[in-house]
A and B are shown apart, each in its own frame.
Chain A
């Protein structure tokens, strides 16, 4: 028996979604054909990506004054708008920017003053800066409010759910499609026994996960993982390759999370950063190419917990900073621009810095998230997703027409 996604329902109990008719908060739309539902992908750069190296403000002389050896050499950046330029390792992404499908959001990040990786990651993924009691990811809250409570709606390409997806609505965690199969004798009886054991279990954590896992053995078997696009062999490349297969296969995935680790460059940044950026750029470009027409219904948001210190440290590296950068990639994105709040770059001169040391944050990451949920995912009111935050369309960075 092969379960299709409509049979693949293990809806969360006692959730807000259970109290309201599913989907009522989504804007009325004409019935959609298969393969047209919008998708959002959250790609998290863990460790605090150096925003000033990823998207270089080469028009700001203070950039060069602060960074004698970790600067991107003047003239080698890939020009975006006469003031900002991509790191040279992001060359694969330049065509997407130039064709208007990739937007940059600079001086963008969290209002929290924390320079802890782990608190800052939580604050962003829970969309709750400085609230250490928050425990529900912003994308899980979206799933709940939008009534997308089938567990196939959301997946983390990892061994466990990204914090952005953690919460009352069940989501899937699949590290690799190729590993979702059973060792040993495969019989329907064996699969059904496993299914019954998990289905009938009252144990937290493992009961529903186990039942989902057994169902996925057959469901994933129906997904075509072949592609003509060559991905980098990195963990990120392989994760995005699997995610593209799920999106193209139209199994019902609407929300996805992917991690890219090791952006914490306190030393020898000039050696490590180009490799990381190349992996990011090449993997993302392969993913966008592989999605083909499905890129039109997909938005990939690239984010990190904070940017890094403007001045380089004593070891050809940089310490934890504040303001950062986000990327938004997708067919529907109004790209080809570096978007700045008020169209103003806060600047890198000492007097312009946050606490005298870091890039200021002028675009709140929640305004970016809210615009994506509203304008792309079709959520009529994004407010319930963002506790203690006033969602205002006038603060949207303008990612969509």
Chain B
């Protein structure tokens, strides 16, 4: 593991433009000298590469420095989440089951509300909330959510009610800091994906499966190109969509479900064995399952894919409209490393564009980020209760986990999470957090009693990044009019719904 201290980090960075490099160096020397700016940058980094600061992450980034903290997050295998994972396995056993076992266990309505087709999405949602709030592997959790949305399936959709879980756990999570091609290949064989985008019923024309004649279905192939790999401007035609669909014929879901089954099968008799050409990739006749495998490898290696993925990652970590230079740098890394996502992430997270505190608190937090950052900020009294209580507010705010209907997943730009209704929902969640409802366990580091002291100490606890003058003034006058016992929780509730906490 390469570790660098703050003082030397400027030398190792890759930056395309001299002005950026210069400003970066000036900025970094400033950071090294000024502990206030250092803490601001630490919180900025914790906000953008994770679900916000909590006591452990603040102490860790203070101890290691920003660059070494980033490096450690790029190697989640060095971080110990075993207690959390044991807790999740005990609370939500369905999250550890193979596809076949969860399907056979839960596919019937039993009359028992704890055991039925709704169980996997319910428990996986709770598990995901707990990981976001409690995991030390913050970057991994953010990336798993990012890539799940990239490869979105609707967890309420037929076989995806079981498959979404293995899509995230088995196809995505192991590869978020590995090779993109490996992740892509795993998603092509996931029963949730095959069902949700209808490749499970994509067969050569006239093939009879279980007594029903089938034919080509374009749905998966189109989204494979448009959403998963080269992007809508990646240069493919309607003919390429058709050819890609033919390449993936007979990649389907198993007919019978053994408990150990992954849910995938390839039925050679149902495959279209004719020659094909997908975006310039010629596939000879009788390619069988290699047709699809070759399309995966080919698409993953295309420059359009490198740019498309890099832009999405830069959007998530840097800005709604990310600077072209950092997208270029990330794509260059992707192409020179064979799609190594750890290297791509290192390029992004070590860029001046990511580290600059000028951009702090400018992107609207998605509801999930907002809710998890609240819990990390104020603390948790009851993990299971929190996970239970947060599921519904996420749906109300429009980010029900595993419940995005369209294959684009939940959107990732600020405008999509800006609405009057969601602001009210956030104000209400902040109130519950600050008042210890819904499993939250607030502990306030407030010793002062005057309005100015209370607001100042809460700001230092929750928003070291700083708050706007209007926030401070309004909070002080609110506190002045409140009885003593209500002062701290009401001030905290309001501060945690203020613009600086709504953004990251």
* A interface with B by C-beta (< 8 Å): 46-47, 115-119, 132, 156, 158-161, 166, 172-176, 179-185, 189-190, 192-194, 196-207, 209-210, 212-213, 216-217, 261-262, 264, 266-267, 313-315, 317, 319-320, 355
Contacts and interface: CB of A to CB of B under 8 A. Distances in A.
Given A182-B428, A182-B431, 20 more contacts: A46-B406, A116-B232, A159-B397, A159-B417, A159-B421, A159-B422, A160-B415, A160-B417, A180-B424, A185-B486, A190-B494, A197-B475, A201-B498, A204-B362, A209-B420, A216-B420, A216-B424, A313-B215, A314-B217, A315-B215
18 contacts: A118-B232, A159-B422, A160-B416, A174-B420, A175-B421, A175-B422, A179-B396, A184-B431, A190-B490, A197-B474, A203-B503, A204-B362, A205-B503, A209-B418, A264-B219, A266-B218, A315-B214, A319-B217
B479 to A, nearest CB: 9
Contacts of B428: 182-184
Q: Is the contact region of chain A dominated by helix, strand, or loop, or is it mixed?
A: loop
Contacts, number: 193
B324 to A, nearest CB: 15
B471 A201 contact: yes
Nearest to B218: A319
A319 B499 contact: no
A110 to B, nearest CB: 15
A189 B469 CA distance: 18
A173 B425 CA distance: 12
A313 B217 contact: yes
B216 A213 contact: no
Interface in B345-376: 361-362, 364
Given A206-B418, A315-B214, A194 B497 contact: yes
Nearest to A175: B421
Interface string B423-434: 111011001100
B435 interface: yes
Nearest to A174: B421
B458 interface: no
Given A115-B238, A207-B499, A315 B198 contact: yes
Interface in B450-504: 468-471, 473-475, 477-478, 481-482, 486, 490, 493-494, 497-500, 502-503
Contacts of A262: 405
Nearest to B408: A118
Contact of A209 (B361, B423, B435, B494): B423
Contact of B216 (A46, A194, A313): A313
Chain B interface size, as a band, is 35 or more
A70 to B, nearest CB: 13
Interface stretch (B89-97, B168-176, B200-208, B377-385): B200-208
Contacts of A217: 424
A206 B238 contact: no
Contacts of B490: 185, 190
Given A197-B471, A267-B217, A190 B478 contact: yes
Nearest to B480: A189
Contact of B469 (A158, A161, A200, A206): A200
Contacts of B418: 160-161, 173, 205-206, 209
A355 B421 CA distance: 44
A159 B424 contact: no
A115 B241 CA distance: 10
B161 interface: no
Nearest to A313: B217
Contacts of A118: 226, 232, 406, 408
B205 A314 contact: yes
Contacts of A175: 396, 398, 419, 421-422
Nearest to A180: B424
B414 interface: yes
Contacts of A313: 215-218
Contacts of A179: 396, 421, 424-425
A172 B219 contact: no
B137 interface: no
B222 interface: yes
Given A161-B419, A320-B222, A182 B427 contact: yes
Contacts of A194: 427, 474, 494, 497
A206 B421 contact: no
B453 to A, nearest CB: 18
Contacts of B497: 194
A213 to B, nearest CB: 4
A339 B232 CA distance: 33
Nearest to B429: A183
Nearest to B242: A319
B232 A119 contact: yes
Given A116-B232, A183-B431, A190-B478, A172 B499 contact: no
Contact of B470 (A47, A192, A201, A314): A201
Given A116-B232, A212-B420, A317-B198, A206 B499 contact: yes
Contacts of A213: 420-421, 423-424, 427
Given A160-B417, A212-B420, A313-B215, A193 B406 contact: no
